[in-house]
Amino acid sequence: MREEELEIALKVVIVGNGGVGKSSMIQRYCKGIYTKDYKKTIGVDFLERQIEIDGEDVRIMLWDTAGQEEFDAITKAYYRGAQACVLTFSTTDRCSFEAIKAWKIKVENECGEIPTVLVQNKIDLIDQTVVSFDEAENLARSLGCRLIRTSVKEDVNVASVFRYLATKCHQAMKQQYSTVVQTIQPTISAYSPSFQSKTNGTIVLRPSKKSTKRKNVFKKCGIL
């Protein structure tokens, strides 16, 4: 497999109370559609979309989890292995805003600290807001993540949420990859007066099949 054929896949979980717009957000992003009807998610659902980050293909798998507590036992299992998280609340639902910290803890218990974004959805209904501008900003600051305001209905900022997370994960993977490559790909520099080579006595050892190594490294990092 050549380097350019490698694929990076990201698992992203979307969490938040029922009715905040999680399913709508995923449908909007992956299928480009929006429906006014509310159909409660039962358990877990998933859709995917491929985008390009830094010239590389990144497949984003979006896991839509039910917001109702009755599904907690099922949904928790699906958080495992997620590399990024979207914490969602609705502009018109105070409880969904107050539940955000609990949602973060639920995800952290399964995945540890992963790149996370706080999303305030239904910004088209800002005249009916029950969360002030500052409250949302302060919550994002206290959680240590970026706040993005979206309207799935009007298609505002939805793509930015996933591009932001994919870029963060992609950078982290690249960094992780180069660290692993540095450890498994030693460069031995030795001066030998009796050895006359093109490199003036410096012997450089490199793997002959770079792309195969790289693929293995990606596997080790859990990227493939």
Residues engaged in binding ligand GTP (CB under 6 A): 18-24, 35-41, 66-68, 121-122, 124-125, 151-153
Phi-psi map region of 6: left, alpha, beta (phi>0 left; psi -120 to 50 alpha): beta
State in angstroms the smallest separation of the CB of 149 from ligand GTP: 10
Shorter beta-carbon distance to ligand GTP: residue 122 or 215: 122
State in angstroms the smallest separation of the CB of 171 from ligand GTP: 29
Shorter beta-carbon distance to ligand GTP: residue 116 or 121: 121
Shorter beta-carbon distance to ligand GTP: residue 148 or 173: 148
Buried b (16+ CB within 10 A) or exposed e, 114-151: bbbbbbbbbbeeeeebebeeeebeebbeebebbbbbbb
CA distance 29 to 48: 9
Which candidate, 56, 55, 62, 75, places its Cα nearest to that of 161? Answer: 62
CA distance 119 to 103: 13
State in angstroms the smallest separation of the CB of 221 from ligand GTP: 32
Shorter beta-carbon distance to ligand GTP: residue 11 or 93: 93
Composition of the chain by helix, strand, coil, percent to 5: 45, 20, 35
State in angstroms the smallest separation of the CB of 125 from ligand GTP: 5
Shorter beta-carbon distance to ligand GTP: residue 23 or 83: 23
State in angstroms the smallest separation of the CB of 68 from ligand GTP: 6
